[in-house]
Amino acid sequence: MNQLFIGIIMAMALGGYFLYQQNESLKIENLAFQVRDQEQQATIKAQQESFERQSSALNNMTARNAEIEGEMNRYLDIFKRHNLNKLAIAKPGLIEKRVNDGTKKVFETIEEDSKSLDNLDDPTTTDN
């Protein structure tokens, strides 16, 4: 009978040791999963912030595009109403100055837009 109890105690001790080792292994895996989960949460948060910045920039650019299209339509309307060849022949100094000023403004706008597009990917730069 004592040998039976000793056998049962030995079986329980081996089972307990096995369960203890399994528990330690699961604790280590749990820590690894927690670290991975934190990294994934940080990545998701960074992606959401990036998406919000891009959405904001896209909305700003869409509004700016609407302004530019309105301006373009006004200029096209001016070209439709006036014969610029006839006016340039009659008053070359007037037309030349206006065309040069308009060209300068267009190039400056393109340069500003290019800078803002270049800064979209850089989270440390703020829009001006």
* In the predicted structure, residue 125 carries a pLDDT above the cut 70: no
Report pLDDT for 25.
Answer: 95
Q: CB atoms < 10 A from the CB of 54, how many?
A: 12
DSSP state at residue 5 = H
Look at residue 73 in the predicted model and tell me its pLDDT. 92
Q: What does the pLDDT average to over 49-77?
A: 92
Please tell me the distance from the alpha carbon of residue 29 to that of residue 35, in angstroms, as a whole number.
10
Residue 128 pLDDT: 47
Closest CA to 116 of 103, 126, 106: 126
- Distances from the Cα of 11 to the Cα of 18, 19, 22, 68, angstroms: 10, 12, 16, 83
- The model's pTM is 0.45
